[in-house]
Structure 1
């Protein structure tokens, strides 16, 4: 057994929790590995392939980093909340050892969360293009650039043209991501059992555009309109999708990923408890 520990390096309490957990695990004869500080390395430098469990110590952002490291490998992730929200996490630091012990003993509920597989095409000024493949647990987003100009783009689903839209952008999310950017843009809260995608226009310049859901097998294509060549960005789980500063995003193809993320929590009803706590203000009720 080997456990990968991923703390939020900007929080001293999460670092201390990682130290405590590491010492306890090694005392149980379990090998540990700690993810590096993102200030020095990128997620591409990390791997969880030789681990059987990943423990995230931080908020939802730290858990999303854990998901990027795990990718489609379906290695279980256990989130311990040291952040402000902790919607995706299973417990707090006061139950760190007990919760990890339960996870190792197979006593936690495994929630299978659909992922996204994204292909982004960029064009350079010399006419060449390149493609970047991205993973996302929460969402893919097209966003307007720093100049604030609205973007114009076409949206198609499995070859069916939906509309040509103008606005601030577009979000394609999983059910997990429905409580993030997609919700802020006016989309619905969706149970993790839903395996399709949630598509939400961001501040569209029309009252006709509405959020819609797709089937799990659908493919969403976002094509930028050449008639409006303004600055814009593609994001996967909040990370800018670009490895060449000269490339301009022109098309994104989004489909369900080939593997789920497995989040460990206390029961199949944990999602609704979190919805009640975070979005309906039932803290302590």
Structure 2
């Protein structure tokens, strides 16, 4: 192990869910294997996240589950897309393990290192030369008759949606116990700054810089056009009650779903945990916006 190395035990997490055993699966395995060998050449002890190792047939590496990674590793390297990063970020936040993302997906707002350039980029970062930022998380829960029937963390957003074949839902919205409005819409999005470039953006919400301690509350196709997105403090507690509408559901980062009944309350507040991201030295959030949202296109 080289003395200059800032990180010693590094976990690799891959995008195994959608690869399977075909060509894309083989390419993903080869990519992970190449990154693992590069890390070992840099003096790192490398482990694979257990599901990654099992599903991609990489049994020759030491495997750890998320709790073990949180206890033993001082860096997690996520190879995939934003969905992969969202999933592992929620799980590792409580352990304060920093994350670096290598993009093998499409957009890559959070996995910002191109796969083809990982060696040039990772070298200085492994020696402690990087930018660090923290991203906030939401803690969401569904209350029914005064009892919590569902709870989950979200890094992007909490979304209340109407049923696929039904009309609008009516939602009673409160902030810190204060009545805001009864809203008729296809749904309502509560998004973190991280999630402000996801579903909330397509609903007309603003882009929030990650340093802002705020959330976006954006209606989806509201009945009243004056019902506009609003930015709220993330110290607030938001409660959404289902007043009417059939087959409504709540989703947390589009991963966890809960079927909702009239009178159910979806309560969202700031989590005590944050996700730690590491970026190449000199990186800024505006680099990501320019690259992923093509802000420079058409500029002479």
TM-score by length of 2: 0.82
Say if 2:45 is the partner of 1:33: no
- More divergent stretch after superposition (18-27 vs 215-224): 18-27
- Whether the aligned pair in 2 keeps the contact of 1:71 and 1:135 (CA below 8 Å) is no
Aligned to 1:259: 273
Q: CA–CA distance in 2 between the matches of 1:66 and 1:103? A: 20
The correspondence for 2:137, drawn from 92, 97, 115, is: 115
Task: Report deviation, 1:33.
Answer: 2.3
**CA distance in 2: counterparts of 1:38 and 1:144, whole angstroms:** 38
- Offset of 1:68 from its aligned partner? 2.3
Task: Determine whether 1:87 maps to 2:109.
Answer: yes
User: In the alignment, what sits opposite 2:5?
Assistant: none
State the Cα deviation string for residues 39-70 of structure 1 (Å, max 9, x = none): 97xxxx74331221111111111111221221
Contact map agreement 2:13 2:52 (CA 8 A) in 1? no
What per-residue deviation string (whole Å, max 9, x for no partner) do you get for residues 225-283 of structure 1? Answer: 1xx241011111111334xx7x6482111111102111111256531122122224436
Match of 1:20 in 2: 34
State the structure with bigger RCO (CA 8 A, min sep 6), 1 or 2. Answer: 1
Residue among 156, 169, 182 paired with 1:138: 156
Deviations 1:130-158 (A, max 9, x none): 42221111111111122232111111111
Q: Deviation of residue 32 (structure 1)? A: 1.4
Quick one: which of 232, 235, 243 aligns to 2:248?
232
Distance in 2 separating the partners of 1:280 and 1:83: 17
* Corresponding pairs, count: 272
- 1:216–1:256 CA contact under 8 A, matched in 2: yes
Q: Is the 8 Å Cα contact of residues 66 and 77 (structure 1) preserved in structure 2?
A: no
Residue 20 of structure 1 deviates from its aligned partner by 1.2
- Secondary structure of 2:51's aligned partner: coil
Distance 1:234 1:271, change over 3 A: same
Say if 1:89 and 1:265, in contact at 8 Å, map to a contact too. no
After superposition, residues 110-259 of structure 1 pair within 5 angstroms as 110-122=132-144, 130-225=148-243, 228-242=244-258, 248=261, 250-259=264-273
Q: Work out the CA distance in 2 between the residues paired with 1:160 and 1:268.
A: 43
Structure 2: state its 5+ residue gaps: 1-7, 56-64
Task: Say which is worse superposed, 178-187 or 103-112, in terms of deviation.
Answer: 103-112
Q: Distance in 2 between matches of 1:217 and 1:38?
A: 39
Range moving further from structure 2, 174-183 or 58-67: 58-67
- 2:12/2:78 contact within 8 Å kept: yes
In 1: Cα distance, 2:267 partner to 2:147 partner: 15
Distance 2:196 2:156 in 1: 7
Structure 2 CA distance for partners of 1:105 and 1:196, relative to 1, 3 Å: same
Q: Which has the larger Rg? A: 2
Q: Distance in 2 between matches of 1:254 and 1:174?
A: 11
Please give the TM-score of this superposition, normalised by the length of structure 1.
0.86
Distance 1:186 1:194, change over 3 A: same
Q: Report the CA distance shift for 1:144/1:33 in structure 2 as closer, same or farther (over 3 A).
A: same
Distance 1:14 1:145, change over 3 A: same
- Matched with 1:277 is 291
